[in-house]
Amino acid sequence: MEKAAGKALAARLLSFNGLFAIRKPKGPTSAAVLNRLRETLLAEAGIPKPSRRKRSHMLKIGHESQFLKSCFFFLTVVGVGKGTKMLSGMLTGSKKYTAVGELGKATDTFDSSGKVTEEKPYDQITKEDLENVLQKFTGNIMQVPPLYSALKKGGQRLSTLVKKGELVEAKPARPVVVYNLTLKNFKPPLFTIDVECGGGFYVRSLVNDIGRELSSCATVQELTRTKQGPFTLEEHALSEDKWTIGEIGQSLERCMLLLQEEPSPVKISDKSGQGKRLND
């Protein structure tokens, strides 16, 4: 009886196909979190831990983001089975973040994990100054991606090349879109902003640019992704204590229904008068 129940559990796990969301904690990398999720599910199903070579064939799992920094807390969309093929669509959808920036300090990674490269006065900056600057970064803007990113040169990530000590030039500025940008708190040197943006956007670059626009500098101290496409951190992301076959099965059903109900991509006006699709 117990053996039959175990086989049924394993069969259910291996039949999973679709998308669901988890909470990526601070500390481990996104790859480490995904491996932990896979091992937890295989153990519950009573399936022996496969070799590294066979791991992806035993239970195919992937996540939508190429570069989730370990020092940040994220809602992470996970694809399982055939759902891994749906992940590319999540990369282009809208996202929401809450970021805490620190004025007067810049780092090479544009966040608290990096080496301080510059310090400037910030006492002259007022709340009104910051709110005025935020308006300049709303809508269709040009943004230079950070060197510490998943963008590649010669088949290797820029971040990997920089860590090796190689001289790497920043990628040219590219068009990105910011749907909403609001100041939530201002207690110098710290400030908190909520950002809703499109695909290919880097909040770390935004905070760095905000600091320079204020004739100072700034870096990200904390960053939380609260929404990815239709999935929200509060409503849909499973914490580690809910990484069970039963909970994930229910979450897959809810999330796939949510995707079916998601409205078609909307358009916003750009300066040329042409519309830009939300999911471009």
- The 10s digit of each residue's pLDDT in 191-212 is 999 999 998 899 999 999 999 9
- Measure the CA–CA gap between 67 and 162, rounded to whole angstroms: 15
Per-residue pLDDT at 213 exceeds 50: yes
| pLDDT single digits (tens) 215-250 | 999 999 999 999 998 999 999 999 999 999 999 999
Model confidence at 170, pLDDT cuts 50, 70, 90, reads: low
- Measure the CA–CA gap between 18 and 257, rounded to whole angstroms: 10
Domain boundaries along the sequence of the chain: 1-92+230-260, 95-228
Determine the pLDDT at residue 169.
Answer: 64
Give the pair of three-digit tokens for residue 9.
């559990």
pTM (2 d.p.):
0.82
Per-residue pLDDT at 4 exceeds 70: no
* CATH topology (fold) of 95-228: Pseudouridine synthase (3.30.2350)
Among 16-20, 98-102, 165-169, the range scoring the smallest mean pLDDT is 165-169
Give the pair of three-digit tokens for residue 207.
């905070």
Determine the pLDDT at residue 268.
Answer: 37
Angle, in degrees to the nearest 10, between helices 2-14 and 30-44: 150
Per-residue pLDDT at 278 exceeds 80: no
Give mean pLDDT, residues 43-66.
75
- Among the residues of 15-142, which ranges form H helices? 30-44, 52-58, 87-91, 127-136
Determine the pLDDT at residue 71.
Answer: 64
- Among the residues of the chain, which ranges form H helices? 2-14, 30-44, 52-58, 87-91, 127-136, 158-163, 203-213, 233-236, 245-261
Per-residue pLDDT at 265 exceeds 50: no
Among 38-47, 52-61, 263-272, the range scoring the smallest mean pLDDT is 263-272
Model confidence at 275, pLDDT cuts 50, 70, 90, reads: very low
More confident position, 164 or 242 = 242
Per-residue pLDDT at 267 exceeds 50: no
